Each structure stands twice: as C-alpha cells, then as structure tokens.
C-alpha cells in the first residue's frame, strides 16, 4: 500500500476515534479533574467543570459514532454481526462494546450532566438565600441538605456511568489488539 493510499482505509480513522475517546476519558477522569480540584478554588473549579463537561460528554457520545462509521469491516457488518455465521460472532462483541461506549457518553451528555448543572444552579441560589456556601461546615438549611444529597447522587451516578465506559474502552483495546497483524 502506498503511503497516501492508506488515508482511504477506515481502520486508521477508527483507531484515531478510539484513541481520542480513551485518551480524553482517561485524562479527564484521572488527571485533569483531580488536579483542577486540588489547585483551584472551589468556585473556579466549579466554573471549569461546568464548561468542560458538556464538551467532554459530547466527545464521549460522538467518538463511538465515528468508530461505528469507520469500523474496518464496515458499519453494516458491525451492526448486523455480519452475514456469515462464522464472522457474526466476531463482530457482535465490538458492536456491544461500541454501543456501550455511545450509551454511557449519551446518558451523561443528555441526562446526568444537565441535571447536575441544574442542581448546581439551584445550590447557588440557595447559597444566596442561606448566606452560606454549599460546601461550608453545617448546619445547612433543609433545602441545601437536599440539594447537596441530590448533587452527590448525580455525581456518583455519573462517575459510575463513566467507569462502565472506561471498562468498555479497555476491553475494546484488547478486541482491537486481536485484529492487529504482527509484522516481525
């Protein structure tokens, strides 16, 4: 294959889509979020996360769609499990994994992320009414306690959904690895 003809092969774009997905997910989950929480004042951290998460969750939703579109055997083979019985089983697992990656991103993007942002806005308003930050030592008003519980629950669910996505991404790395031809 000539050096430029490889640009027509969807496999390269598939790997780029997957690499972007897992790289950004691991970076945001284990580096960016943790470092930002440690070094930024709470208000700036909140503003940063409020602006990063919609982009991050959109990327987690779009990248699996790009992976489907660029699946090396073709998206029809991926979605249908292929036409032959022998290759059907080899394409079902990638389809389920990529679908899981899409669903975890979409759930955070469309539901959990916006709900969390809404609770953050409600907490901000309650802070003004209470004259006290949501993260200050108690006691808090019953309204703030309820908002803090709701925020904690949403944050936990989002983290769990993200963890399921990460496990799917790691599993998919090994599925991709099975398809590589080793040149010695």
Contact yes or no for 25/60 (Cβ under 8 A): yes
Q: Is residue 56 part of a domain?
A: yes
**Mean of pLDDT over the chain:** 91
Count of structural domains within the chain = 1
Q: Is residue 155 part of a domain?
A: yes
Burial class of residue 141 (count of CB atoms within 10 Å of its CB; 0-12, 13-18, 19+): middle
Q: Is residue 57 part of a domain?
A: yes
Q: Could you tell me the pLDDT band of residue 184, with boundaries at 50, 70 and 90? A: very low
Q: Could you tell me the pLDDT band of residue 112, with boundaries at 50, 70 and 90? A: very high
3-class state of residue 72 by DSSP: coil
Predicted TM-score of the model (pTM)? 0.89
**Encoded tokens for 78:** 């991926």
Section 113-123 average pLDDT: 96
Helix (H) or strand (E) holding 68: helix 42-69
Q: Is residue 1 part of a domain?
A: no
Q: Could you tell me the pLDDT band of residue 178, with boundaries at 50, 70 and 90? A: confident
Match 């991103």 to its residue by tokens: 105
Q: Is residue 78 part of a domain?
A: yes
- Could you list the residue range(s) of the whole structural domain that residue 93 is in? 9-174
Q: Could you tell me the pLDDT band of residue 2, with boundaries at 50, 70 and 90? A: low
CA–CA separation, 134 and 2 (whole Å): 60
Helix (H) or strand (E) holding 103: helix 85-107
User: What is the model's pLDDT at position 83?
Assistant: 45
Q: Is residue 113 part of a domain?
A: yes
pLDDT tens digits for range 40-99: 999 999 999 999 999 999 999 999 999 999 998 888 888 876 545 445 456 689 999 999
Contact yes or no for 53/113 (Cβ under 8 A): yes
């Amino acid at each position: 294959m000539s050096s430029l003809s490889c640009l027509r092969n969807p496999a390269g774009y598939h790997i780029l889509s997957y690499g972007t997905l897992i790289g950004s997910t691991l970076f945001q989950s284990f580096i960016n979020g943790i470092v930002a929480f440690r070094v930024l004042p709470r208000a700036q951290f909140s503003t940063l996360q409020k602006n990063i998460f919609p982009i991050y969750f959109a990327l987690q939703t779009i990248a699996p769609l790009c992976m489907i579109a660029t699946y090396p055997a073709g998206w029809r083979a991926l979605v249908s499990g292929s036409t032959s019985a022998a290759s059907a089983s080899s394409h079902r697992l990638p389809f389920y994994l990529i679908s899981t990656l899409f669903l975890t991103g979409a759930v955070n993007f469309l539901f959990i992320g916006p709900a969390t942002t809404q609770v953050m806005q409600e907490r901000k308003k309650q802070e003004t009414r209470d004259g006290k930050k949501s993260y200050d030592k108690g006691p808090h008003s019953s309204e703030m306690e309820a908002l803090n519980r709701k925020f904690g629950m949403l944050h936990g669910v989002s983290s769990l959904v993200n963890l399921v996505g990460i496990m799917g991404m790691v599993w998919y790395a090994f599925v991709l690895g099975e398809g590589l031809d080793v040149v010695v």
